[in-house]
Amino acid sequence: MNPAPTNDGQQPGRRRPTPGHVVARRVEEILRIRLDGAEFWDVREDVRENEHEAGSVWELPEDAKPLSDSQLWRYMAKADKLIAESCRAPRKKLLRRHLAQRRNLYAKAVNQGDVRAALACVDSEARLLDLFPDKDSVPPSGPGVVIIGGVDADAALGRTPTPENASGPDSPAV
C-alpha cells in the first residue's frame, strides 16, 4: 500500500519537481563552468560548495538531500547540448565571427602594448584567411618571378611580368 500523500499532494520521500526557471539557471551555471574546462567532478564540487549558500541556484531546502550524481549528469547533458547547438553555424558565419574575435583581441593587445600578442593575433588571422602558402607547395620560378614572403609579387599585384618589371637572376639589377 502506498503512503498517504502529504498536504501538498506529494508522496512522502519524493522530491518536488524543480521549477523550469531554476533548471534553466542551473544548466546555464554548468554551461559556464564547462566552457572553462570543468569535468564532472569539478561540476559536482562546485554544486556541493554552493548548496548551502543562500541565494544560490543550488541552494537546498532545509533537511533536503544533495542532488544526485545522475541529476548532475542530466544537467551536464543539457549544457553540452547547448554547446553543440551553438557550434552549428554556417562556415561563412563562423569565419566572420573568428575574424572579428581576432581583430578584437588584436586591438586589446595593441592598447596594452603587448606586441607579441598582437603579432599572434594577426598571424592567426592570416592563417585563417589562408594567406600563407602550404609548406608542401612548390613556389613558382623562372625569369621575372619575384617571391616576397613566399608570394609571387606580380601575381599578388595582379600584373603580368614584363621586361620592365621583371627581376630575377637573368634581369639587370635595379
Phi, psi values for residue 117, rounded to 5°: -65, -40
Report the candidate in 143, 141, 150 with the shortest Cα–Cα distance to residue 168. 143
For every residue of 69-120, DSSP letters joined together read HHHHHHHHHHHHHHHHHHT---HHHHHHHHHHHHHHHHHHHHHTT-HHHHHH
Residue 174 has what pLDDT?
Answer: 44
pTM, 2 dp: 0.51
Residue 63 has what pLDDT?
Answer: 82
Beta bridge partners of 151: 148
Residue 150 has what pLDDT?
Answer: 53
How many alpha carbons fall within 13 Å on the CB side of residue 155? 12
Residue 49 has what pLDDT?
Answer: 93
Rounded average pLDDT per 10-residue block, the chain, 174 residues: 54 67 93 93 94 90 88 95 87 90 95 96 92 69 56 58 55 48
Residue 44 has what pLDDT?
Answer: 96
DSSP state of 3: P
